[in-house]
Amino acid sequence: MAAPTDRDSSPRLPAAAIDGETILRLGRAGDAEALEALRRHSPEALANALQQLSPALRMEFLETAERVEEIVPLLPEAEFASTVRGGGIEESGWLVEFASPEQRVAAVDLDCWSDSRFSPGRFFAWLDAMIEAGPETLAAAFFELDEELWVLAMRALGEFSILGMDGDDDGPGMTIDGLVFYDAHSAESEDRIAEILRTALLYAPSQYWRLVYGAVSGSAAEAAHFAVRWHRNRLNDLGFPDRDRARGVYAPLEVEQLPAIDATPDARPDAIVPGAGGLPERPGGSALGRALEALPPHRVNGVMSAILAVANALAVADRLPLAEPGSLETALARARRGIERGLVELSRSQNRPVGVVLDATPALDLFRIGAGLDPTLGVPVASLDPCDEDEDFDWGVETEVISDGDRTLDGDGRPKPT
């Protein structure tokens, strides 16, 4: 986070002292008194409050907010991606400019991929936002995003050759250094190619020839293999398991298969699972809420992280579009419902208080029990699979199929008309 400036030296209230509705009301007022009220709160407090608003309302606040360059990098990665996607990525270049490198990389991972399938259309939308953000942001992306992803993207944009390299120097486009020819697949692709290579040459010369040689002679199959690998590793770091592992959330489990719970079990520490969206709010007014209230304070975050891990596994198993507003909330609601159903059933079966049961039983086991009892939870939400319903996810890198217009890859990995 950037160091506070002189005008930010006024006393700050804790994060819990302001909520989303309040910052939106003050932002809309925009008068001196409202602005001064907002200045009393830290960027962390404003970023926390911002997450309580819908993406469209977040954008409304940020468009006129002070210290936006400090607030935006504090949003969790998934919240940043859903804010941009929900507010309209075509209007969000300025927001992408203020994002941290981690947020930009995570946005591509969360929004452009569905397991090993990649959407060039979504990637190019983010690319256009980076171009709009300015050459410094685009140049930074050459280093932030995987080199293999750039190889695949450049090949999707056009055909490339280097002067004197293959005797075919008649491409309609030429870079400003006069050494690289290209034949773009569309007018939009031509604009993107020109901006990418111009920016690389002027602002990131060390990356310029990496982009060019990757476009000319890089192996699409090898690039696809490693692009998938790096993507999956980063999703794991954000708390999302691989698809095969995620499907285990639906493995049936009967209450009789669990051992008896002691009246005062040893505290079983749940590992804190890193999450792209941070820990969810604690539910209230339910058996799960009462169980959380009964836990020792030092156990609550661990249990909440375990609940979030179940929700993340559901999101992956159900192939939800991870950056779309509402997707992770949908998964979290399903996780809570299944965990509560399993919690109540196991509490009844073993005659133990719900707090003791929650403290002693992994959240995943509780969901597996609950999903077996609730037919609406026992199977993946296949109808929400973007790969089945959204033709935009048309880059199946494992099978080297790419569609930008009407193009697929030929034997050497170059796009050709179908």
Neighbours of 57 (CB within 10 A): 20
Same domain, 203 and 318: no
In order of 25, 30, 113, 251, 377, the CA distances from 236 in angstroms are: 38, 41, 14, 21, 24
- Report the pLDDT value the prediction gives residue 162, as an integer from 0 to 100: 81
Burial of residue 286 (number of CB atoms within 10 Å: 0-12, 13-18, 19+): middle
Same domain, 159 and 209: yes
Same domain, 254 and 338: yes
- Extract the residue ranges of the chain whose pLDDT is less than 70: 1-16, 164-172, 174-175, 263-285, 381-418
Is the residue at 350 inside a domain? yes
CA angle 56/61/65 to nearest 5° reads 150
- Report the pLDDT value the prediction gives residue 118, as an integer from 0 to 100: 86
Same domain, 401 and 376: no
pTM over 0.75: yes
Is the residue at 148 inside a domain? yes
DSSP symbols for 105-146: HHHHHHHHEETTEE-HHHHHHHHHHHHHH-HHHHHHHHHHS-
- Report the pLDDT value the prediction gives residue 324, as an integer from 0 to 100: 84
* 3-class DSSP assignment, residue 173: strand
Same domain, 252 and 377: yes
Give the structural domain span for 228.
Answer: 124-238+389-418
Strand partners for 333: none
Same domain, 134 and 215: yes
- Report the pLDDT value the prediction gives residue 372, as an integer from 0 to 100: 92
- Strand-strand pairing, 407-409 and 158-162: unpaired
- Report the pLDDT value the prediction gives residue 315, as an integer from 0 to 100: 92
Segments of 293-333 assigned E as strands: none
Same domain, 263 and 333: yes
Read off the tokens for 232: 């999956």
Read off the tokens for 18: 């302001």
**How many domains does one find in the chain?**
2
Is the residue at 226 inside a domain? yes
Is the residue at 183 inside a domain? yes
CA angle 163/165/168 to nearest 5° reads 70
DSSP symbols for 246-303: HGGGGS---GGGSPPPPSSPPP-PPPPPP-TT-PPPPP-SSHHHHHHHHS-HHHHHHH
Is the residue at 10 inside a domain? no
Read off the tokens for 396: 């199946």
Over residues 259-295, the pLDDT tens digits come to 998 755 555 545 445 455 555 666 666 899 999 999 9
Same domain, 231 and 364: no
Same domain, 175 and 233: yes
Same domain, 224 and 310: no
- Report the pLDDT value the prediction gives residue 171, as an integer from 0 to 100: 55
Is the residue at 349 inside a domain? yes
Same domain, 247 and 233: no
In order of 45, 188, 248, 341, the CA distances from 74 in angstroms are: 10, 33, 33, 35
- Report the pLDDT value the prediction gives residue 278, as an integer from 0 to 100: 55
Pairwise CA distance, residues 9 & 12, whole Å: 8
Pairwise CA distance, residues 121 & 266, whole Å: 51
Is the residue at 162 inside a domain? yes
Read off the tokens for 274: 């890193």
Torsion of CA 177, 179, 181, 187, to 10 degrees: -10
Is the residue at 82 inside a domain? no
Same domain, 143 and 229: yes
* Pair 182, 162: CB distance under 8 Å: no
Read off the tokens for 329: 């909330």
- Report the pLDDT value the prediction gives residue 284, as an integer from 0 to 100: 64
End-to-end distance of the chain based on CA atoms, in angstroms? Answer: 49
